[in-house]
Chains A and B, each alone.
Chain A
Amino acid sequence: MQRAIEEAGIPTIIIAALPPVVKQTGSPRAAAPRVPMGANAGEPHNIKMQTAIVRDTLKLLETIQTPGTIVPLPYEYLAKV
C-alpha cells in the first residue's frame, strides 16, 4: 500500500511495530517506536505519547533522505494482555 501511494507521487512514512517486516518489503520511510501490533501509535488514551509519536513521524518525513530508512523512536508501550 505504501508503495502504491509513493508511486503515485505522494511521500509516505509508516509507523512500524515490526521493523524487520518493513525492511523486507522495502518501505521508503519508517518510524519504529517500541509498541505492540495492537497499538502502533501508542498507549490508548495516552494523548501525550500518541501526539509525540505522530509528531516525530511527521518530522521524519522531512529528514529522511534515503529510501529504506527505518528510524527507531524513543517511546515504549507494553500492552497488558
Chain B
Amino acid sequence: MNLTTTIGMQSEIYTPIIPKSVFTQMTKALKDCKIGLATAAGVHMKVQTPFGKVGDWTFREIPFDVDPNELMVTHGGYDNGDVNKDVNCMFPYQRLNELKAEGFIKDVAPIHLTFMGGGGLQDKFKEYTGPEVAKIFKSENVDAVILTAG
C-alpha cells in the first residue's frame, strides 16, 4: 500500500507556539519621553552583590549617573570581553544621557534596572522579577523602556 498521495506534501509542519501579543501604544513624541533602560546582561555596581552565574532571578537598581568604572558584569552565558572594555556595549546608559543632553529625548529614568538572563526559573521571572521591575519603572513615570540582552 502506498501512503504517498502527493509527492512532497507534508502532513505535519512544526510551528512555534508564540504567546499572545502584548502592546502598549506610545502616547507622546520621543522628545517628550522619559526613557528607562533595562538589561539582562548581568551588569551591576561593584559595591552590589554580584549575580549568580546561572539561574539568578534577582535584579539590581543602577543610578543613571553612575561612573562606568563602578560597574561590572557577572554573567556566565556570553563572552564578557567586549562589555568589560566598555559597559555601554550592553548597557548604553551614557548614550541615553547624551541623547537627553541633545534634546532627542526629554529625560532619562533616575534608576535603571539590570538582571541576569542566563537560565533561571521562568515562573520567578514572570511572577516576581518582571512585575517588580515594571513597578519601579512605573513609579519613575517612565514613558518607554529599551531592553538589551534578550
Residues of A within 8 A of B (CB): 1-18, 21-28, 30, 36-45, 47, 50-51, 53-55, 57-59, 61-62, 67-68, 79, 81
Contact = CB atoms under 8 A, between A and B. Distances in A.
Contact of B137 (A10, A15, A57, A61): A10
Contact of B22 (A13, A17, A54, A67): A67
B115 interface: yes
Given A26-B20, A40-B149, A62 B89 contact: no
A11 B89 CA distance: 22
Interface in B41-70: 41
Contact of B148 (A14, A28, A47, A58): A14
Given A50-B89, A51-B98, A28 B138 contact: no
Given A1-B133, A5-B38, A79-B82, A40 B22 contact: no
Contact of B89 (A10, A44, A51, A57): A44
B115 to A, nearest CB: 7
24 contacts: A1-B38, A1-B133, A4-B130, A5-B38, A7-B22, A8-B135, A8-B138, A10-B138, A11-B24, A11-B143, A14-B148, A14-B150, A17-B149, A28-B23, A41-B92, A44-B89, A47-B98, A50-B92, A54-B92, A55-B99, A62-B30, A67-B22, A79-B79, A81-B79
B92 to A, nearest CB: 4
Interface of B: 16, 18-26, 29-30, 33, 35-36, 38, 40-41, 77-83, 85-86, 88-92, 95-96, 98-99, 104-105, 115, 125-126, 129-131, 133-135, 137-138, 142-150
A41 B89 contact: yes
Contact of B146 (A17, A54, A62, A67): A54
Contact of B21 (A30, A68, A79): A68
Nearest to B21: A67
Nearest to A80: B81
A17 to B, nearest CB: 8
